[in-house]
Amino acid sequence: MKILYGMQRPDEGEIRVDGSPVGFHTPADAIAAGIGMVHQHFMLADNLTVLENVVLGSEPRRGGVALDFAAARKKIKEISDAYGLGVRPDVPVEELGVGDRQRVEILKVLYRGARILILDEPTAVLVPHEVEELFDNLRGLVREGLTILFISHKLDEVLRVADEITVIRRGTTVATVNPKDVTSRKLAELMVGSELPSPETRESTVTDVVALSVRDLTVRTGDGRPVVENVSFDIRKGEVLGIAGVEGNGQAELVEAIMGMRPCEVGTLTLGGVDISQWSTLKRRAGGIGYIPEDRHRHGLLLESPLWENRILGHQTRRPNVKGPWIDRAGARADTRRIVEQYDVRTPGIDVDAATLSGGNQQKLIVGREMSGDPVLLIASHPTRGVDIGAQAAIWDHLRTARAAGLAVLLISADLDELIGLSDTLKVILRGRIVADVDPANVTPEQLGSAMTGAGEGV
């Protein structure tokens, strides 16, 4: 997608537009070739009018310097009428709703003469009736001879709107199918990959002791829209609770709320029977919550600091890192060496910066750190994302061992094999709500995939 829009260059292969090969260096080249992109996050200036936003960067000139707003307004009207977009050019963007803004984005691209539109997850921000309107608009565009590339995780939407579907998994094309010949179930299977490693049979270590109890947790965005809604669950000691869901359905917000990094409304939030809903993040961590963050570079590491300082991060109130208000260098360094050894972090020493390690080794360091100090609960967000296979297996082993020793784990992942293989209990999250409980012992990735994408019968 980035390559098609000229933001990134391909290593090999070629792109043909209308049969002739093209090469893009910048998005401007792509626009010149008639390819326009509608971004998932709108790129509009709120305080300008629709007209001003549309012409921004390609203003029509009159006599060299003056802007020809009249011509622009006329052109916008024409485009809007031709495709039935219903855009009003003189309204400030800040007064528009999400659906209208999206139409402005589409118009912006058309104004620049695009004949091929790339839409990146266009429905992610829309409510159902806006999705309907968008689909009507898209059908209108297609009738007028435009080509649309519609990128989405949501299978039902793809099936409804597309004339042809290409499934991409881990960067390769898996299949190209006709929506008339395929069911959402089959599509989910293609998306997920049917080759599932046999989930190993193992002893359940789940106890009766509840480690974390969450009741009616709701997280709202700044404008009051719930991104997590009335989520409730218990995790017992020795249990791995998996949360399955397509990314962006509230998982990140749920985790941040439990960590105390994001304000939320919650009925009950107890750790080992103690109410922690008013605790600070630091207190929650000190109280025994380990946290493997989704984005290790943003939340898990100080990239430009040595490994032993990273060992202290998030554990700066506890031994062996500190003695009172003082940093215990010797203690922290010795314990970093222990982690490096036990978790097989490949590094020439503990004084190199975290940035110099590979992703897998960075992640092993984080896992080792978060397992230190006898946590009661571990929140593992995508613990093996972007990690090589060897490190992945090692991290899984560590999680299993800790679980056997009585650790409660909240596992969030987009990797269905990982979820099914590790979890004792599985819940499916969709648009911020828990929509299904699944038994990992009896579920297939296809069934799970359907449930995650809301593609119908559930499980």
Partner 1 sequence: MSGFLDRMLGRVRLGGWLAVAAPVIAVVFAVLITSVVLLAAGKDPVEAFTTLADYGTQPRSMAMILNTGVMYYISALAVAVGFRMNLFNIGVDGQYRLAAVIAAGLGGAAVAPGVLNIILVIVVAVVVGALWAAIAGLLRVYRGVSEVISTIMLNAIATGLGSWLVSEHLGVLTGNDLGTRPIPDDAHMPGIPLIPGTPVLVNGFVVVAVLLGIAYWVVLNRTRFGFELRATGKSETAAVASGVSVKKMIVVTMILSGAVAGLIGMPELLGASYKYSNNFPAGLGFTGIAIALLGRNNPVGMAVGALLWSFLDNSSNQLQLLDISKEIVQIMQGVVVLSVIIAYELVHRYRIVAEQRRVSRELAAPQEAPKAEATA
Which of these ranges, 102-110, 179-187, 254-262, 414-422, lies near partner 1 under the rule CB under 8 A?
Answer: 254-262
CB nearer to partner 1: give 147 or 281. Answer: 281
Contact between 379 and partner 1 (CB under 8 A)? no
CA neighbours closer than 13 Å in the CB half-sphere of residue 420: 20
Amino acid at 249: N
CB of 281 to partner 1, least distance (A): 4
According to CB under 8 A, which residues from 259 to 318 bind partner 1? 259-261, 280-286, 291, 293, 297-306, 309, 312-317
CB nearer to partner 1: give 130 or 353. Answer: 353
Contact between 21 and partner 1 (CB under 8 A)? no
CB of 342 to partner 1, least distance (A): 17
Which of these ranges, 54-62, 86-94, 197-205, 347-355, lies near partner 1 under the rule CB under 8 A?
Answer: 347-355
CB of 401 to partner 1, least distance (A): 23
CB of 366 to partner 1, least distance (A): 11
CB nearer to partner 1: give 183 or 305. Answer: 305
Which of these ranges, 45-53, 183-191, 232-240, 253-261, lies near partner 1 under the rule CB under 8 A?
Answer: 253-261
Contact between 398 and partner 1 (CB under 8 A)? no
Among 3, 386, 396, 406, binds partner 1 (CB under 8 A): 386
CB of 269 to partner 1, least distance (A): 16
CB nearer to partner 1: give 144 or 295. Answer: 295
Which of these ranges, 115-123, 197-205, 256-264, 409-417, lies near partner 1 under the rule CB under 8 A?
Answer: 256-264
CB of 302 to partner 1, least distance (A): 5
CB of 247 to partner 1, least distance (A): 18
CB nearer to partner 1: give 258 or 443. Answer: 258
Site for partner 1 (CB under 8 A): how many residues? 46
Cα of first residue to Cα of last residue in the chain, in angstroms, is 33
Contact between 85 and partner 1 (CB under 8 A)? no
Residues at the interface with partner 1 (CB under 8 A): 259-261, 280-286, 291, 293, 297-306, 309, 312-317, 322, 325-327, 329, 346-348, 352-353, 355-359, 386, 388
